[in-house]
Structure 1
Amino acid sequence: MTNNADPNFSRIIEVFINRIQGLKMSFPIVINAFENSEKEIQQKFINFASQQSITQTDTTITIPLESATNFKQLWQENMSLSLASNIIKRNFIISLVSEFDIHLANLVKAICLTKPEILNSSERHLSFKELIQFKTLDEARNDIIDREIDGLLRDSHAEHFKWLEKKLGIDTLRKFSSWSNFIEITERRNLFVHCDGCISTQYLTICQENNVDINDYKLGAWLQVDETYFNNAYKCIFEVGVKLVHVIWRKLKPEERESADTALNNLAVDILTSNDYLLANLILDFAMQEPSIFKKMADGTKLLVILNKAQTLKWEGKNQDAIDNLLKDTNWNILSDEFKLANAVLIDNFDDAYQIMKKIGNNSKMISKIHYREWPIFREFRKSQQFLQGYEEVFSEPFDQPSLLNEEPLMPLSNAENN
Structure 2
Amino acid sequence: MNNSDVEQADEIKEAMVDAEMSSSFSDMLEAENKKENLLSIILSDFLDGMNDLREAIYISIPSIGKRHSSEIEKLEKEIAKYEDSSGKIIFPVSDPHGASKMLSAIENYSRIAKSNALEVLERSLFVGLFGQYDVFIGSLLRALYSIKPELYKSISREISLSDLLEFESLMAVKNDLLDKEIDSFKRESYIEQFGMLEKKFALPLRKFEEWSEFVELGQRRNLMTHTGGIVSEQYIILCEREGYQFKERPIIGSKLGLGQPYFERSINLLSKVAFMLVHTLWRKIAPKQSEIANRSMNANIYDLLKIKNWALAAEFGRFALSQIFIANCREMDVRIRVVNTSIALSNLKKEKETFSLLEKFDWSACIREFKLADAVLRNDSKKACEIMVSIGKKGELIEQLSYHQWPLFYNFCDSKEFQDAYFSIYSIPYIEKSTQATIVGPIATQKIPPLKKRHAKKVAAIENLGVTDVVQSIPKRRKKIVAAI
Under a length normalisation based on structure 1, what TM-score does the superposition of the two structures give?
Answer: 0.87
Once the two structures are TM-superposed, the CA of residue 105 in structure 1 deviates from its matched residue by 0.5
Structure 1 residues 71-150: aligned runs within 5 Å: 73-75=107-109, 77-79=111-113, 82-150=115-183
Question: What letter matches 2:423 in structure 1?
Answer: E
User: How far apart in 2 are the matches of 1:113 and 1:150?
Assistant: 17
Q: Judge which range, 145-154 or 378-387, deviates more.
A: 378-387
Structure label with greater radius of gyration: 2
Residue 334 of structure 1: SS of its match in structure 2?
A: coil
Once the two structures are TM-superposed, the CA of residue 228 in structure 1 deviates from its matched residue by 1.5
Partner residue, 2:350: 318
Q: Judge which range, 295-304 or 128-137, deviates more.
A: 128-137
Correspondent of 1:14 among 44, 58, 78: 44
* 1:316-365 per-position Cα deviation (integer Å, ceiling 9, x unaligned): 2234x543332223221211112112112222333332332233233334
* 1:240-288 per-position Cα deviation (integer Å, ceiling 9, x unaligned): 1111111111111111112212222222222123222211211111112
User: How far apart in 2 are the matches of 1:284 and 1:245?
Assistant: 15
Are the counterparts in 1 of residues 345 and 354 from structure 2 also a CA contact under 8 Å? yes
Structure 1 residues 169-318: aligned runs within 5 Å: 169-171=202-204, 173-214=205-246, 215-289=248-322, 291-318=323-350
Q: Judge which range, 90-99 or 336-345, deviates more.
A: 336-345
Correspondent of 1:352 among 379, 383, 403: 383
Are the counterparts in 2 of residues 199 and 220 from structure 1 also a CA contact under 8 Å? yes
Once the two structures are TM-superposed, the CA of residue 178 in structure 1 deviates from its matched residue by 1.9
Q: 1:54 and 1:93, CA in 2 relative to 1: closer, same or farther beyond 3 A?
A: farther
Structure 1 residues 51-66: aligned runs within 5 Å: 51-53=81-83, 66=99
Correspondent of 1:159 among 173, 186, 192: 192
Are the counterparts in 1 of residues 49 and 132 from structure 2 also a CA contact under 8 Å? yes
Q: 1:7 and 1:401, CA in 2 relative to 1: closer, same or farther beyond 3 A?
A: closer
Are the counterparts in 2 of residues 94 and 193 from structure 1 also a CA contact under 8 Å? yes
Q: 1:385 and 1:134, CA in 2 relative to 1: closer, same or farther beyond 3 A?
A: same
User: How far apart in 2 are the matches of 1:315 and 1:93?
Assistant: 28
Partner residue, 2:467: none
User: How far apart in 2 are the matches of 1:5 and 1:312?
Assistant: 31
Are the counterparts in 2 of residues 6 and 113 from structure 1 also a CA contact under 8 Å? no
Residue 321 of structure 2: SS of its match in structure 1?
A: helix
Partner residue, 2:364: 333
* 1:107-136 per-position Cα deviation (integer Å, ceiling 9, x unaligned): 011122223333334333333333333333
Question: What letter matches 1:209 in structure 2?
Answer: R
User: How far apart in 1 are the matches of 2:142 and 2:190?
Assistant: 17
Q: Mind listing any 5+ residue stretches in structure 2 that lack a counterpart?
A: 1-33, 94-98, 442-485
User: How far apart in 2 are the matches of 1:384 and 1:71?
Assistant: 56
Correspondent of 1:28 among 58, 69, 78: 58
Q: 1:143 and 1:61, CA in 2 relative to 1: closer, same or farther beyond 3 A?
A: farther
Aligned residues: 400
Partner residue, 2:434: 403
Residue 184 of structure 2: SS of its match in structure 1?
A: helix
User: How far apart in 1 are the matches of 2:440 and 2:288?
Assistant: 29
Are the counterparts in 1 of residues 363 and 371 from structure 2 also a CA contact under 8 Å? yes
User: How far apart in 1 are the matches of 2:151 and 2:389?
Assistant: 56
User: How far apart in 1 are the matches of 2:91 and 2:162?
Assistant: 71
Residues 1:41 and 2:76 aligned together:
no
Are the counterparts in 1 of residues 82 and 90 from structure 2 also a CA contact under 8 Å? no
Once the two structures are TM-superposed, the CA of residue 184 in structure 1 deviates from its matched residue by 1.2
Are the counterparts in 2 of residues 247 and 292 from structure 1 also a CA contact under 8 Å? no
User: How far apart in 1 are the matches of 2:208 and 2:400?
Assistant: 39
Q: 1:221 and 1:56, CA in 2 relative to 1: closer, same or farther beyond 3 A?
A: farther
Q: 1:251 and 1:49, CA in 2 relative to 1: closer, same or farther beyond 3 A?
A: same
Question: What letter matches 1:379 in structure 2?
Answer: Y
Question: What letter matches 1:222 in structure 2?
Answer: K
Q: 1:293 and 1:150, CA in 2 relative to 1: closer, same or farther beyond 3 A?
A: same
Pairwise CA RMSD: 2.8
Q: Judge which range, 90-99 or 220-229, deviates more.
A: 220-229
Residue 159 of structure 2: SS of its match in structure 1?
A: coil
User: How far apart in 1 are the matches of 2:413 and 2:78?
Assistant: 57
Question: What letter matches 2:381 in structure 1?
Answer: F
Following TM superposition, the consecutive aligned residue runs of length 4 or more in structure 1 with deviations greater than 6 angstroms are 4-7, 54-57, 60-65
Once the two structures are TM-superposed, the CA of residue 145 in structure 1 deviates from its matched residue by 0.9
Partner residue, 2:425: 394
Q: Judge which range, 265-274 or 221-230, deviates more.
A: 265-274
Q: 1:5 and 1:399, CA in 2 relative to 1: closer, same or farther beyond 3 A?
A: closer
Higher relative contact order (CA 8 A, sep 6+): 2
Once the two structures are TM-superposed, the CA of residue 64 in structure 1 deviates from its matched residue by 7.1
Correspondent of 1:361 among 368, 376, 392: 392
Once the two structures are TM-superposed, the CA of residue 211 in structure 1 deviates from its matched residue by 1.4
User: How far apart in 2 are the matches of 1:337 and 1:5?
Assistant: 36
Once the two structures are TM-superposed, the CA of residue 63 in structure 1 deviates from its matched residue by 6.6
Are the counterparts in 1 of residues 368 and 387 from structure 2 also a CA contact under 8 Å? yes
User: How far apart in 1 are the matches of 2:66 and 2:274?
Assistant: 34
Once the two structures are TM-superposed, the CA of residue 55 in structure 1 deviates from its matched residue by 12
* 1:160-185 per-position Cα deviation (integer Å, ceiling 9, x unaligned): 111111111111x1122222221111
User: How far apart in 2 are the matches of 1:358 and 1:307?
Assistant: 20
**Sequence identity of aligned pairs in percent?**
28
Under a length normalisation based on structure 2, what TM-score does the superposition of the two structures give?
Answer: 0.75
Are the counterparts in 2 of residues 324 and 347 from structure 1 also a CA contact under 8 Å? yes
Residue 332 of structure 1: SS of its match in structure 2?
A: coil
User: How far apart in 2 are the matches of 1:94 and 1:249?
Assistant: 28
Are the counterparts in 2 of residues 53 and 64 from structure 1 also a CA contact under 8 Å? no
